[in-house]
Amino acid sequence: MINTIDYHHIFSEIASEFKEVDDLGAIANYIPELGKVDPTKLGVHLTTVDNQHYAFGDADEPFSIQSVAKVLSLTLALKIMGGDLWNRVGVEPSGSPFNSLVQLEYEKGIPRNPFINAGAIVICDILVTCLDDPKNDLLAFIRKISGIDSINYSSKVAESEKKCGYRNYALVNLMKDFGNIHNDVDIVLDLYFYLCSIEMTCKELTNAFMFLASGGMNPIINERVISLTRTKRINSVMLTCGFYDEAGEFAFRVGLPGKSGVGGGIVAIHPGKFCIAVWSPKLNAKGNSYKGMKVLEALTTKTKCSIF
């Protein structure tokens, strides 16, 4: 495939247009370590399926990817458990805040999807059951599929999340009461907090997520990560559930499957074409990167390149 879009020029255009626009978001300082991040950071990296790279700004600076990592834990759990996984977590948009207890109780401990907190905690429970050394095995998987051995957890961020994770403790205990958590809640949450503490750059994120743009095969490492069918399933859940209760807005404005995190990162996929990662730490009221959402909307508007 020959790529004819000049992404370098488009990124420069977008940056110029955003120079005079106020960033109305706020950093996720309810997690103390995230509150220390420079709010003016902006990084973009796009990798095409034929291994062309386009970057802008702070694309090579590591940041806490937070809930973006939930796509990778889901991928590993699907590889291990297959379709039986969906007996314990749904695939529907939540329409509620990502840490809602009300919806979880109403639906008897079965989370709506694997990307809200409760759903990702269930995925962590599955990994605790199936892996000999869950934290190290998960990290080894992410390093392998990205081809980058230096990716790591931030123990400072994980401990910071643990100290203020009262709602997550409530979620896991409620699901334990309904029988949907099979392991010790502290062990499950420890893996969950470390999952969210993974640090990567925008470039590293596109490496790790390239398999979703290439039918389950990562062309950078020339290795199949997951089957074509399961790639389709993951992209579908990203499109409908990847932005908490703002997934419809992202699909409407950007038109790509994607996943956000409260560290300000967003990964988006154009199947068959590219993977893009954007990082801007200030969040909107729904917990998604304020500027990141707008950058991606501008990108797909200028390139006329969405899945629709």
Amino acid at 160: S
Other Cβ atoms within 10 Å of 1 Cβ, number: 9
Residues in the chain: 308
Banded model confidence at residue 161, pLDDT cuts 50, 70, 90: very high
Report the candidate in 64, 68, 70, 96 with the shortest Cα–Cα distance to residue 161.
Answer: 64
Query: Which domains does the chain possess?
Result: 10-301 (3.40.710.10)
* pTM to 2 decimal places: 0.95
Instruction: Report residue 199: phi and psi, to 5°.
Output: -110, 135
Checking if the pLDDT of 247 tops 80, the result is: yes
Q: In terms of DSSP H, where are the helices of the chain?
A: 7-18, 70-81, 102-106, 117-130, 134-146, 155-163, 166-177, 185-196, 202-213, 228-241, 247-253, 290-303
pLDDT of 78-90, one tens digit each? 999 999 999 999 9
Q: What is the pLDDT of residue 18?
A: 81
Which strand (E) or helix (H) includes residue 272? none
* Angstrom distance (rounded) from CA 202 to CA 175: 34
Residue with tokens 């309810």: 30
State pLDDT tens for residues 174-205.
Answer: 999 999 999 999 999 999 999 999 999 999 99
With 80 as the cut, is the pLDDT of residue 156 above it?
A: yes
What pLDDT score was predicted for residue 2?
A: 45
Which of 297, 303, 292, 306 shows the shortest CA–CA distance to 44? 292
d(CA 264, CA 234): 21
At 59, list the tokens.
Answer: 């694309």
| Residue in the structure block whose two tokens are 């300082």 | 29
